[in-house]
Amino acid sequence: MRLEPRAGERIDRGKAVSFTFAGWKVTGFEGDTIASAAFAAGKRVFSRSFKYHRPRGLMCCSGHCPNCQMTVDGVPNVRVCTEPIREGAVVEGQTLDEAGVRRLATLPSRDVLQAQVVGVLAAPLQQLVTLLSAAPREFVVVLDQIIQKKQAEAA
């Protein structure tokens, strides 16, 4: 399913480009992204949710969401919605192998990660508070010295 040709489009419909998408041969046009060519060829599932493996399709088409991350020519985590089509590319879905599952299992809990983030943010803020409170503290010391000097002169 393709839109009708329009003036000024980036796709050159005169130059066909073929690649493999999840084992299927897909043909698009020069100027297509991998995702646009696959979608035009009827492909709708680009990834699956981590926990329940629910199908994920194209969402933002601008490279800002994880829905279209696939392995392209052996390179993982490529956002195919922004990756230009190229002849002979091999595009596959991503799954975790045993090593990937083990790495995920060793991650700290959510509470620990949140505490680490708060700690990282708190240190510069504490330094800023210390820096900002230094001037008033020194002002109070100077005022105390002036008061003591006046009291000494009066005595």
Q: Give the residue extent of every domain in the chain.
A: 12-105, 108-155
Residue found under tokens 């084992």: 23
Q: Say whether domain 12-105 belongs to CATH 3.10.20.440.
A: yes
pLDDT digits over 2-30, tens only?
A: 888 889 899 999 999 999 999 999 999 99
In the numeric block, which tokens belong to residue 104?
């995920």
Name the pTM for this structure.
0.62
Cα(98)–Cα(77) distance, integer angstroms = 18
Kindly report the average pLDDT of the chain as a whole number. Answer: 89
pLDDT digits over 30-56, tens only?
A: 999 999 999 999 999 998 887 788 899
In the numeric block, which tokens belong to residue 135?
């001037």
Q: 3-class DSSP state for residue 120?
A: helix
